[in-house]
Amino acid sequence: MNSYFRTILHSYAMLFFSQHRGLGALLLLVSFAHPLVGAAGLASTALAVAGARAAGFNREWTGRGAYSFNSLLTGLALASFYAPGWALAGLVTVGAGVALLLSVALGGWLGGRGLPFLSLPFVATVWLLMMGSAPLLHLPPAEANIYWLNEAYALGGPRLVAVAQWAADWPWPPLLATYLRALGSVLFQDNALAGLLVAAGLLWHSRIAFSLSVLGFLGAYGVLWLTGPAGSGPLEYNLGANYVVAAVAVGGVFVIPSAASYGWALLSVPVTVVALAAATAVLTKLGLPALSLPYCVTALLFLYVLLLRERPGAGLVLTPVQRYSPERNLYAYATDRVRLAHQGAVAFTLPFLGQWACTQGYTSGGPTHLGDWGQALDFAIADADGHTYHGAGFALSDYYAYNKPVLAPADGVVEEVIQHIEDNPIGEVNLRENWGNTVVLRHAPGLYSQLSHLRAHSVPVKPGDYVRRGDIVGTCGNSGRSPEPHLHFQVQATPYVGSRTVAYPLAYFVAEAATKPDLLPVLNPFGTTDNVYKAPGGASKALAALSNTTKPSAAIPRTPQLRHFAVPNAGDLVSPPAINRTLSQALRLPPGYALDVRNADAPTAPAQRWEVFTDAYNLTYLRCQTTGAVAYFAGDASVFYFTAFYGSEDSWLYFFYQAAYRVPLVSLPGQITRDAFPLSVVRNPALAWAQDLLAPFYRFLKPTFALEAVPDADAAWPGRPVRLRSRAAVGYFGRERATQTAELTFADGHLAALRVQRAGQEINLTCSLVGA
């Protein structure tokens, strides 16, 4: 029942593309300024919601009121146009039904094209009923709009009349009055006071939407001022809403708000003006009102052309996931663009074990990775002195890298194997068989990886074999254009040996940035043999000499960093991360996994259950069964992170969302993991509102996340608890204020405890595995 009333409020809020129930309630209230009109709207909505639920239409859309707001508009419109009576009641009932059916049908048709149906069902329904009811019902036109004070008197007595008159007589500046009446007309109210309440509600819901409504209105005012006497004609009353709503839709709801989207919204205004004039001219002859048709036409036009671009620009971005708030859309997009940039990419990992040095990176000016073949990586093993060999360095076996296992960087199928080429003696290169012994793997259609310079006859796989990430596909050798043993790794779009390269990041690896990047030996594949013969790894000698004279290398701390979706640079020392099994087991969270969460300070209180589900898009989320809050998460073998949160910000799940926003599943002592929250987590209203207004242009608030492991030797042992500390903070103008600090304890393969401190309160939660 609760969800039924929530849906009704959502239907009202949907008039401004919102799920803000406060705005919904306010609009419901305002609609009752004409009690009869309000009642018809409410009844119509109630019928549509009940119908949508009974018929079993898409639950998500039903719950958001997406199927019922057109019925709401229909009810409001019919009651404004026709006098009360049984005939009107029947008409409203039919209208609610028709609007619902049209919403579902148009939703199915336009939804498949990535477009919203807006209020087209409402326009169509009202026209249909106006044309259809005229010969059948002979309804008298409503007089309430003219004599609405009578109604007010009947409802609230002389006092309400006095208030209404006072509001009507208030010397509103004419521009403001017109704006407010335009807003009010969305609810079929010709009343500045109603408009003021709607404007307040809109501001409460979204600062961006409010600023866009003002922009749309002023734009239209400007256009009409240029074309003729301002303040008259189409700007009057209900039709003024078309500019406002079109601007909000085009500039902030269906497009991520930005300076460009504001410009786009402003551009929509003259189009709406023309559309409105044209629609009015045509429809008057048919005796039909234009209603919101001009806005629908403009908005759909402006969205559809954006959808059809071949190169979506960075300025005008169509909202990827509709969060029903321009702010939330913007903030989520701004962080997701960075955080989720590589979702869905094939996760490549380092094709070897232990620590290797990247000796040639992407087009690093190195000797061989040039032009179309520039996006490739060379690896060799170097010791602390920078040498790649021990002893004299004249024999292949002196080289650390020689004969070391080479692994499949990702799951795939072996496409090609070449392993008959003999390894070169040190210092010589084989320019005829440039790539040497090579394995090419197919990971996805159009995505191949190539591993080259392998040791002769070292490849244990054959074409057609399926390999898993980490399987050995050969050993490092010195075949082809390779003067000393090293491994060449590249990603390519075609299956041939030596295809041109594609830049493709590695999903995760641990890197120690080279403190002196230019000092690591760059292999010289041009094979100036005399040079190499005299001093094998001539560069390494130089490095050794240098490091001998420098202070102890222990004094130059190289802190290993876990890196995600990055490409190693030449000189980096890289190694695969050591996965922490406790964390990786606790945060794997397969669908169906559930935790019972209790407040440790009130152990008798009922537990909240968090359960893992998968949605229609195969995205996983945690849902709190008690509060209905939902937290989407993602990750790979090396990291767990939340991607979005919907629901109450007082729920325990929200605390967990903030506490475990990003958790590396890797043991790296002293590592601090940082991330950025979407700006919607800021709760200080003054700051947040100021930021909201400026957000499309400049964001001065920086909500940050930091996490570190509590140093504990136990953490290295599977089955022993792992403790993490995290901190959420908001930074602005160089200051930083913590909003939440948390300590997470993972034990026995699940989250065991969560201690949260926020806003002066401390909450101790304990979790237990359901069904364990």
Partner 1 sequence: MKLPYERPTLRKLTAGALNKFGPRAGVRPVTALDGVAVGELVARFGSPLFVLSERQLRRSYQAAVRAFGTRYPRVQLAWSYKTNYLNAVCRVFHQEGAWAEVVSGMELEKALLNGVPGPHILFNGPGKRRADLERACAVDAVVHLDNADELHLLLDVAAGRPRRPRVALRVNLNAGIVPQWDRFGFNLENGEAWQALSRLVASGQLELVGLHCHIGTYILQPAAYGAAATKLAALAQRCARELHTVVQYLDLGGGFPSTNTLKGAYLPATDTVPPLDDYAEAVAGALLGAGFKTDDLPLLVLEAGRALVDEAGSLIGTVLANKRLADGRRATILDFGVNLLFTSFWYDHHISPTREFSADTEPTVLYGPLCMNIDMLRESIALPLLAPGDTVVVHKVGAYNMSQWQQFINLRPYVVLIDQAGQPHVIRAAETLEYLQQLEQVPAHLLG
Of 93-101, 368-376, 530-538, 708-716, the segment contacting partner 1 by CB under 8 A is 708-716
Instruction: Pick the closest to residue 666 from 468, 511, 514 (CA basis).
Output: 511
Q: Which stretch binds partner 1 (CB under 8 A): 72-80, 451-459, 549-557, 644-652?
A: 549-557
Strand partners, 745: 723, 753
Closest CA to 692 of 338, 328, 337: 328
**In angstroms, what is the minimal distance from the CB of 490 to partner 1?**
21
Q: Binding residue for partner 1 (CB under 8 A) from 285, 534, 551, 735?
A: 551
Residue 378 pairs in a beta bridge with: 360, 488
Pick from 442, 609, 720, 725: which binds partner 1 (CB under 8 A)? Answer: 720
Residue 718 as a binder of partner 1 (CB under 8 A): the answer is: yes
Compute the distance between CA of residue 359 and CA of residue 370 in angstroms, rounded to an integer: 14
Residue whose CB is less far from partner 1, 323 or 404: 404
Interaction of residue 557 with partner 1, rule CB under 8 A:
no
Q: Strand runs (DSSP E) across 535-629, as ranges?
A: 561-566, 573-575, 594-599, 608-614, 620-624
Can you tell me the distance from the alpha carbon of 284 to that of 289, in angstroms, rounded to the nearest whole number? Answer: 7
The 64-103 site mask, x for binding partner 1 (CB under 8 A), equals ----------------------------------------
Exactly one of 59, 462, 468, 516 binds partner 1 (CB under 8 A); which one?
A: 468
Which residue number, 457 or 720, has a Cβ lying nearer to partner 1?
A: 720
Neighbour-count burial of 286, counting CB atoms closer than 10 A to its CB (0-12 exposed, 13-18 middle, 19+ buried):
exposed
Query: Contacts with partner 1 in 583-612 (CB under 8 A)?
Result: none
Establish if 615 lies at the interface with partner 1 (CB under 8 A).
no
Residue 420 has which token pair?
């008959």
Is 217 or 352 the residue whose CB approaches partner 1 more closely? 352
Find the part of the chain contacting partner 1 (CB under 8 A) among 468-476, 509-517, 590-598, 621-629: 468-476
Residues in contact with 151: Cβ distance below 8 Å, sequence separation at least 6, in sequence order: 34, 35, 36, 144
Task: Provide the Cα torsion 630, 631, 632, 635; round to 10°.
Answer: -150
Decide if residue 552 touches partner 1 (CB under 8 A). Answer: yes
Contact window for partner 1 (CB under 8 A) among 106-114, 118-126, 314-322, 399-407: 399-407
Looking at the Cβ atoms of 27 and 408, the one nearer to partner 1 is 408
* Of 253 and 382, CB closest to partner 1: 382
* Total of chain residues touching partner 1, rule CB under 8 A: 32
Closest approach, Cβ 388 to partner 1, in A, equals: 11
CA distance 622 to 118: 31
CB of 662 to partner 1, least distance (A): 22
Which residues inside 472-531 make contact with partner 1, applying CB under 8 A?
Answer: 472
Using CB under 8 A, pick the residue from 308, 384, 616, 759 that binds partner 1: 384
Take residue 730 and report the two structure tokens written for it: 């908001």
Nearest CA-CA partner of 18 in 181, 198, 239: 198
Determine, following the binding rule CB under 8 A, whether residue 578 of this chain makes contact with partner 1: yes
Q: Which residue has the tokens 């403009």?
A: 298
Q: Which residue has the tokens 């596909």?
A: 473
CB closer to partner 1 out of 140 and 719: 719
Q: Which of 159, 496, 717, 737 binds partner 1 (CB under 8 A)?
A: 717
What DSSP designation does 579 have? B
Shortest reach from residue 594's CB to partner 1, in Å:
24
Q: Which stretch binds partner 1 (CB under 8 A): 149-157, 220-228, 244-252, 378-386?
A: 378-386
Amino acid, single-letter form, for residue 622:
L
For residue 709, the cross-strand partners are: 724
**Binding pattern to partner 1, positions 663-702, x when CB under 8 A?**
----------------------------------------
Nearest approach, Cβ of 736 to partner 1 (angstroms)? 33
DSSP annotation string for 91-110: HHHHHHHHHHHHHHHHHHHH
CB 480 within 8 A of CB 453: yes
Helix (H) and strand (E) counts for the chain?
20, 25
Cβ pair 393, 399 in contact under 8 A:
yes
Rank residues 352 and 632 by Cβ distance to partner 1 and give the closer one. Answer: 352
Q: How far is the CB of 714 from partner 1 (least distance, A)?
A: 5
Partnered with residue 768 across adjacent β-strands are 596
Per CB under 8 A, does 470 bind partner 1? yes
Q: Does 383 bind partner 1 (CB under 8 A)?
A: yes
Residue 575 near residue 509 (C-beta atoms within 8 A): yes
> Which residues are registered as beta bridge partners of 707?
673, 726
> Which of residues 634, 710, 716, 753 is near partner 1 by CB under 8 A?
716
Q: Which of 390, 462, 516, 558 binds partner 1 (CB under 8 A)?
A: 390
Q: CB of 216: closest distance to partner 1 in angstroms?
A: 57
* Cβ distance to partner 1 smaller for residue 99 or 487: 487
**Cα–Cα dist 402/481, whole Å:** 15
What gap in Å lies between CA 562 and CA 569, rounded to an integer? 14
Which one of the spans 7-15, 219-227, 402-410, 638-646 is the region binding partner 1 (CB under 8 A)?
402-410
> Which is closer to partner 1, CB of 2 or CB of 548?
548
CB of residue 41 to partner 1, shortest distance in Å: 59
User: H or E element: which one contains 271?
Assistant: helix 259-286
Binding track, positions 151-180, relative to partner 1; x by CB under 8 A = ------------------------------
| Cβ distance to partner 1 smaller for residue 65 or 536 | 536
Which residue in the block uniquely carries the two structure tokens 């954006």?
306
Q: Which is nearer to partner 1, 6 or 720 (CB)?
A: 720
Residue 599, phi-psi category: left (phi > 0), alpha (psi -120 to 50), beta (remainder): beta
Structure tokens at 649: 């910000």
Question: Nearer to partner 1 by C-beta: 374 or 536?
Answer: 536
Cα(32)–Cα(42) distance, rounded to whole angstroms? 9
Ordered DSSP codes for 139-165: PPBP-TTTSHHHHHHHHHHHHHHHHHH
Question: In the bound complex, what is the minimum distance in angstroms from residue 659's beta carbon to partner 1?
Answer: 26
Query: Which structure tokens are listed for 375?
Result: 């996006």
Piece in contact with partner 1 (CB under 8 A), picked from 182-190, 229-237, 287-295, 466-474: 466-474
**Residue 503 C-beta: closest distance to partner 1, Å:** 27
Secondary structure of the chain: what % helix, strand, coil (to 5)?
A: 40, 20, 35
CA proximity to 249, closest of 289, 199, 291, 215: 215
Minimum distance between the CB of residue 407 and partner 1, rounded to whole angstroms? 9
DSSP E strands in 445-555: the ranges are: 447-454, 466-467, 472-475, 487-492, 501-502, 506-512
Q: Which of residues 317-376 bind partner 1 (CB under 8 A)?
A: 352-356
Identified binder of partner 1 from the candidate list 60, 518, 601, 714, rule CB under 8 A: 714
Note whether 465 and 473 are within 8 A (CB).
no
* Residue whose CB is less far from partner 1, 87 or 413: 413
CB of 366 to partner 1, least distance (A): 23
The one among 554, 605, 616, 759 contacting partner 1 by CB under 8 A: 554
| Residue 500, phi then psi, degrees to nearest 5 | -65, 155
How near is the Cβ of 552 to partner 1 at its closest, in Å? 3
- Please give the residue ranges that form the binding site for partner 1 (CB under 8 A): 352-356, 381, 383-384, 390, 400, 403-405, 468-472, 551-554, 576, 578, 712-714, 716-720
